[in-house]
Amino acid sequence: MTLFLHRAERTDVLADGLGDLLAVPLADPFAEELVVVPAKGVERWLSQRLAHRLGAAPGQGDGVCAGVRFTTPRSLVSAVLGLADDDPWAADAMAWPLLAVLDSSLDDAWCEPVARHLGHFDTGAEAELRQGRRYAVAARLARLFASYAVQRPTLLADWSAGRDTDGRGDALDNDLAWQPELWRRLVGRTDAPPPNTRHTDTLARLRDQPESLELPTRLSLFGHTRLPATEIELLTAVAEHRDVHLWLPHPSNALWERLSSVGTAAGDRAADTSYQQADHPLLATLGRDSRELQLALATAPATDRHIPSPTAPDTLLGWLQHDLRGNLIASEGRHLAADDRSVQVHACHGVARQVDVLREVLLGMLQADPTLEPRDILVMCPDIETYAPLISARFGLGDLHDHGHPAHRLRVQLADRSLTQTNPLLGVASQLLGIAGSRATASQILDLAQTDPVRRRFRFTDDDLDTITAWVRESGVRWAFDQHHREPFGLAGYQQNTWRFGLDRILAGVTMSADSHAWINTTLPLDDVGSTRIELTGRFAEFVDRLRTATDRLDGTRPLAAWLDALREGIDQLTRVVPDDSWQVGQVHREFAEVAADAGPLAETSLRLPDVRALLSSHLAGRPTRANFRTGTLTVCTMVPMRSVPHRVVCLLGLDDGVFPRFGLADGDDVLARTPMTGERDVRSEDRQLLLDALLAATESLVITYTGANEYSGQPRPPAVPLGELLDVLDRTTMTAVREAVLIKHPLQPFDRKNLEAGRLGTPGPFTFDPTVLVAARAAAGSRPSRPEFQAGQLPSARTEDIALADLLAFFRHPVKGYFRALDLTLPWEVDGVSDVMPVEIDNLEKWSVGDRMLRDMLAGVNPNDALQAEWRRGTLPPGRLGWRTATEVRDEARQIAISAHPHRQVGARAFDLDVDLGGGRRLTGTVPSVYAYRLVSVGFSRLDAKQLLSSWILLLALSAHDEDHNWTALAIGRGRNPSSPASRLFGPVGPQARALLADLTAIYDAGRREPLPLPLKTSFAWCQARRTDDDPMTAAERRWRPTKFDGENADPAHVRIWGPHARLDVLTAPTRPGEERPGEPTRLGAYAARLWEPMLRFEQGAT
């Protein structure tokens, strides 16, 4: 029997050769063919390819791939080694006995380096932090030992024999001297022969007793570019009595023949000179894995056969593949055709823009070639989780609308996603582990409540979640379940801003109103928790309680089984799935069972929460699978070794500098990394081989994208080093440099006009297929005048509608915001988010909120000290004396204002329901509160300025127009320039003019709802006051609109949205329009200021 080496530059050629071999049946008609493949994706592709040859009629592709068993190298090795059960020396299984050995050896002198790393000699928080690394360290060491066993078994053989060498005959470095003893203790603890001994015994048994193995007389290994030394030895031993066929993709037969003739042997990687035999630069820089595989196989007696590949096409990609096969660069007579797009490199601004560009490139290819189908395209990226949401947003959304991007009609399959992304229950498990032991912030818990399984369990609708978010924000919840949960953070004595604190406020708000000015112990009822929300408060409280119970179970030190049971119970208590999704529950149980099975009898080993996090994060991470790979749609997958099966179009997404090749710092504890030998695994070489494989796998086109410029600053960024090497080689592949034609530098924005100019970005026509981009690009390509008005013209009039007094007041508090409200627009800066940070200081706005609430309480008859106590129970104050001191200062200011208002509030307050005829069938309706005798008394914590005065004035006009038989007045009281001296201003009586003045205000209200008015309150008030005192109104208005030392009204977000950033006063002083004229006021600002403020100031009686 023989070891056969079949080589070809393309794996489809190898697959055809394998098909020809399998077409010759085995002697036993019932025997299965055994084919070992390196990855599940290759298995699917190979089975599909073989189905076109095995059992097919002549000239037809109607065969079937049957009687062929595909397996992985690990499964084959397990079969050869006679491992019926799980391998005790596999990395996952070895971690547990290693952990036990470490725990029992931390006091030994030889283990001191590891003991220090694990905090064995530390105390307090440092010890707790370091001791949480136990499983992670054990798992890392297990991976190292498993790597030693496979790649350098002589190392473990020497250690087992008591020789502390590096497996090459040299002494081990002193800082690694603890590893041999750790290995020897691990071997003594494990009831199985060590892997080096098992390997030696298996080789002898394969030679002496070949019939003892249940293997077919013929087996094949397909598509490998790297085989460790132990597997080569096993295959060589198997080949002594069976036919073993290695189907190897190799980039260059010429290089193979040259290396064979030179006779280069395996050895130290530092002494390897095989790269000197590579005349093609890419074979030297990218092909280390394939060269070292040849060197490793040189020791095995084999029959070598090269299968010629089809002639490369006469394109740039074809020339590159031809040169790689021939190990040469033959540029003579080559000139890049104008329409040659076989190799495309796209430099983009960031990862999101790369997906945009890829989408347009693929659509262009599908349009240009009707025979090209999505299944003919393979997209690979270094990190699928980074690109998955971007790809999902840009492809496969055909159900949105008919006028969207054409790519939305493409079906896309994302392969290799992590289990936490594909199974929502495992995602909840990951979130639970994240919340346990953490601060349990408001955003963490609300994010968990948003997940589908949790929503289904507690029947949370979108409206419910909006309400819950508002409750959390208003009740002051920031982080921690209760004050005991804060003990590790040194804040056990502060209960405010915890979930218990917030829930108590919400639940108290169901039965008590905040207007009652009462509280229960430390609980102040939350206002606006309506009786219709009682059931929702119960469901929300149950959710938080179950979550707290679940996270309490995920604490302390306990065996693995207890951790898994606690996590499983937490999932059961917090989630629910529909019957169609019951597979999710089964998968959770299967994954947890696998974790427990790996631990075996050592599942009783005590673990901490960080240990469990490390264990499950590695187990639930993404892994290459057969699922979603080559399913007839556009496939997007991770870049993993030997996955580059031939496709008409191969796309490499995200070859950014620093991302590709993977940044693999050598593990400081890895003996192999100190003095590597040829054939041993190197992550960066593996990624470089991936690029070389992709170059050869693309039969028609190769598309590469990378971040060529920073998306924020535009600073150019270089391509990844292997990609730069490819560009350099492409320049040498033809008579003249082709970089300018191959490398396309894309603009930052998809609506840049370059995307629509024919031939500008490497395509005959426009680059983009997005119809919305055309509209935006036309607008951007037009003349660029000064910033246009926010709205051209006015909105249609709606003057027949009645006006609510509250709407009129809200409009005049900020006329421009009133315009946005008329459009039913919510301004982004007005959306309150949820904060996870405890208040440690009070800014001016928060200080006003605190003061205004305390002042309202005092005006309602609450003792100032009780008002302060209520504010403390609200959770808005910083903890400790800092918050108490600030609140005391605010209380004293509020008390001074309350004292100033007291003489004017001696009689009982009345509220008047208004119904004022505005003429033309319109009416003003609403309620005027706080009327004492015949005086309206408005008291606020704000500094007495334009907004506060205008509100009192509008209420006075409405009250006077409603009842013209009394002389109504209005008194506004607020803070003055001196905090200890409140200010007040008195207006009225107005008399019969009130109705006309109110009608003019409603006219301004109507105009302001149709277009933004040049009527900022402080600026217009300063203008009018300057007119009355014969000062320069322009100067006075400028001081309020754009002061020199601080932000003025021009920096107001609503004003910026209308008039732009840093707008000058000129935007407000345009000439008046017809109907806006006012004597002595040629500008719109002046005219509106006079209409709004002059009557109020005219009816002012006095100020203090």
pLDDT for the residue numbered 1071: 93
Q: Which two tokens stand for residue 679?
A: 């054939």
984 pLDDT exceeds 70? yes
In this predicted model, what pLDDT tens digit does every residue of 939-953 receive, in sequence order? 999 888 999 999 999
Question: Is a pLDDT exceeding 60 seen at residue 925?
Answer: yes
Residue 585 clears pLDDT 70, i.e. is over it? yes
One-letter amino acid at 691 equals L
Q: How far apart are CA 679 and CA 229, in angstroms?
A: 7
For residue 129, the number of C-alpha atoms closer than 13 Å in the C-beta half-sphere is 6
What is the rounded average pLDDT of the residues 676-701? 91
Q: What is the mean pLDDT of residues 335-344?
A: 93
- Whether the pLDDT of residue 47 is over 70: the answer is yes
Are the C-beta atoms of residues 302 and 705 closer than 8 Å to each other?
A: no
User: Lowest-pLDDT range, 541-545, 852-856, 925-929?
Assistant: 852-856
Spatial distance between the Cα atoms of 1038 and 1025, rounded to a whole number of angstroms: 13
The residue-averaged pLDDT of 1002-1013 equals: 91
Half-sphere exposure of 610 (CA within 13 A, CB side): 13
Q: Is the pLDDT of residue 622 over 60?
A: no
Strands (E), 570-625: 606-607
- CA distances to 68, 334, 704 from 737, rounded to whole Å, are 48, 11, 18
Please give the average per-residue pLDDT across 858-881, as a whole number. 83
List the Cα angle 828/834/840 in 5-degree steps.
115
pLDDT digits (tens, 9 = 90+) for 160-211: 999 999 998 899 999 999 999 999 999 999 988 899 998 898 888 888 888 7
Tally Cβ neighbours within 10 Å of residue 53.
Answer: 17
Distance from C-alpha of 500 to C-alpha of 477, rounded to nearest angstrom:
9
Q: What is the mean pLDDT of residues 951-973?
A: 92
Which of 73-82, 302-311, 714-723, 944-953 is least confident?
A: 73-82
Is-contact 428 549, C-beta < 8 A? no
Q: What is the predicted pLDDT for the residue at 844?
A: 80
The CA–CA distances, whole Å, from 683 to 273, 291, 680 equal 20, 15, 10
Q: How far apart are CA 1023 and CA 706, in angstroms?
A: 56
Answer yes or no: are the C-beta atoms of 999 and 918 closer than 8 Å.
yes
Q: Bin 383: left if φ > 0, else alpha if -120 < ψ < 50, else beta.
A: beta
Kindly tell me if the per-residue pLDDT of 1 is higher than 70: no
Please tell me whether residue 1085 adopts helix, strand or coil conformation.
helix
Q: Over the chain, what is the mean pLDDT? A: 88
| pLDDT > 60? residue 642 | no
Give the pLDDT score at 568: 94
pLDDT score of 934 more than 60: yes
What pLDDT band is residue 490 in, cutting at 50, 70 and 90? confident
Q: Which residues contact 901 (CB under 8 A, 6 or more apart)?
A: 859, 937, 939, 973, 982
Contacts of 791 (CB under 8 A, 6+ apart): 1011, 1012
Query: How much is the average pLDDT of 638-656?
Result: 84
Give the whole-angstrom CA distance, residue 869 versus residue 9.
80
What is the pLDDT confidence band of residue 433, given thresholds at 50, 70 and 90?
very high
Check whether 641 has a pLDDT greater than 70. no
In whole angstroms, how far apart are CA 6 and each of 3, 21, 232, 290? 10, 11, 15, 14
CA-based radius of gyration for the chain: 39
Q: What pLDDT is recorded for position 726?
A: 96
Start-to-end CA distance of the chain, whole Å, equals 111
State the Cα–Cα distance between residues 739 and 343, nearest whole angstrom: 10
C-beta separation of 195 from 229 below 8 A: no
Please tell me what DSSP assigns to residue 711.
T
Q: Phi then psi for 797, rounded to 5 degrees?
A: -75, 145
Retrieve residue 990's tokens. Answer: 């107005």
When mean pLDDT is compared across 167-171, 808-812, 885-889, 897-901, the lowest value belongs to 885-889
- Residue count of the chain: 1104
Q: Give the pLDDT confidence of 358-393 residue by residue, as tens digits.
A: 999 999 999 999 999 998 999 999 888 889 889 988
Return the residue matching tokens 């609450």: 862
β-strand pairing of 377-381 with 606-607: unpaired
CA dihedral (41, 42, 43, 49) positive or negative: positive
Q: Which residues contact 740 (CB under 8 A, 6 or more apart)?
A: none
More confident site: 1083 or 666: 1083
Q: If you average pLDDT over residues 292-305, what whole number do you get?
A: 88
Q: What percent helix, strand, coil does the chain show, rounded to 5?
A: 50, 15, 35
As a whole number, mean pLDDT of residues 91-98 equals 91
C-alpha–C-alpha distance, residues 774 and 771, integer Å = 5
Q: What is the pLDDT of residue 401?
A: 55
C-beta of residue 95 within 8 angstroms of C-beta of residue 137: no
CA distance 651 to 381: 8
Q: How far apart are CA 1038 and CA 1043, in angstroms?
A: 7
Tracing tokens 């971040």 back to the chain, one arrives at 707
pLDDT of residue 496: 85
Query: In Å, what is the CA distance from 820 to each residue of 28, 791, 811, 946, 1008?
Result: 82, 11, 10, 21, 10
Whether cis (ω within 30° of 0) applies to the bond prior to 989 is: yes
Give 856's contacts (C-beta < 8 A, 6+ positions apart).
none
What residues contact residue 870 under an 8 Å CB cut-off, 6+ apart? 517, 519, 524, 853, 854, 857, 862
Q: Which of 76-80, 608-612, 722-726 has the lowest mean pLDDT?
A: 76-80
Q: Give the pLDDT score at 75.
A: 76
Phi, psi of 491 (to 5 degrees): -125, 35
31 secondary structure, DSSP code: P
Give yes or no for residue 965 having a pLDDT over 60: yes
Of 231-240, 503-512, 670-679, the one with minimum mean pLDDT is 503-512
pLDDT above 60: residue 124: yes
Q: How far is the C-alpha of 667 from the C-alpha of 865, rounded, in Å? A: 63
Amino acid at 59: G
- Would you give the distance in Å from CA 384 to the centre of its chain? 12
Residue 396 CA to residue 411 CA, distance in Å, equals: 5
Residue 276 burial class via C-beta count within 10 angstroms: exposed 0-12, middle 13-18, buried 19 and up:
exposed
Q: What gap in Å lies between CA 67 and CA 294, rounded to an integer?
A: 31
The pLDDT tens digits for 730-755 are 999 999 999 999 999 999 999 888 88
Q: Could you report the per-residue pLDDT of 1075-1103, keeping only the tens digit for each?
A: 888 888 999 999 999 999 999 999 998 76
Alpha-carbon span 443 to 422, nearest angstrom: 22
Which residues lie below 8 Å from residue 494, measured CB to CB, with a gap of 6+? 483, 486, 879, 880
Mean pLDDT check: name the lowest of 409-423, 714-728, 827-841: 827-841
pLDDT of residue 461: 94
Taken in order of first residue, the domains within the chain and their CATH numbers are 3-84+201-309 (3.40.50.10930), 91-192 (1.10.10.160), 343-416+625-746 (3.40.50.300), 419-619 (1.10.486.10), 803-993 (no CATH), 1014-1094 (no CATH)
More confident: 600 or 135: 135
| pTM exceeds 0.95 for this model | no
Q: Tokens representing 444?
A: 């963490």
Q: What pLDDT score does 411 carry?
A: 83
What integer pLDDT is reported at residue 83 of this predicted model?
64
Query: How many other CB atoms sit within 10 Å of the CB of residue 762?
Result: 17
